Amino acid sequence: MIWQLDLLILTLVVFCGIGAIMIRDLLGAAILFGAYSFMMCLLWTIMGAVDVAFTEASVGAGVSTVFFVAAVYHTTRRTKD
């Protein structure tokens, strides 16, 4: 485990998570959540959990983002907070 890379990606994960819940646009939240999931996938590759990493890349970053975008498409982008 390369700890510099680990710490950098952990910081990016926290920023993506905060951004995903703070942004005032649901489509933006969905995209930031996809970025968050992909950062998590990189983190698990660094930690040596390759099986978890590719499951997260396909299911977390792929399918979850598609679900969020589909839900926003069927409802609305407007949000108050």
Partner 1 sequence: MEEFLRLIIGKYNYWIYITLMMIGLYAMIAKNNLVKKIVGMNIFQTAIILFYISTGVKKGATIPIIEHSHDAAHQAVRAADYINPLPHVLMLTAIVVSVATLGVALAVAIKVYHRYLTLEEDEILKQIREP
Distance CA 71, CA 81 (A): 18
* Residue 15: Cβ-neighbour burial (10 angstroms; 0-12, 13-18, 19+): middle
For the chain, the residue count is 81
Residue 61 Cβ, how far from partner 1 at the closest point, in Å?
A: 11
The answer to the question of residue 28 lying near partner 1 (CB under 8 A) is: no
Q: Which parts of this chain interact with partner 1 (CB under 8 A)?
A: 1, 6-7, 10, 13-14, 17-18, 20-21, 26, 29-30, 33, 36-37, 40, 43-44, 47-52, 55-56, 59-60, 63-64, 67-68, 70-72, 74-76, 78-81
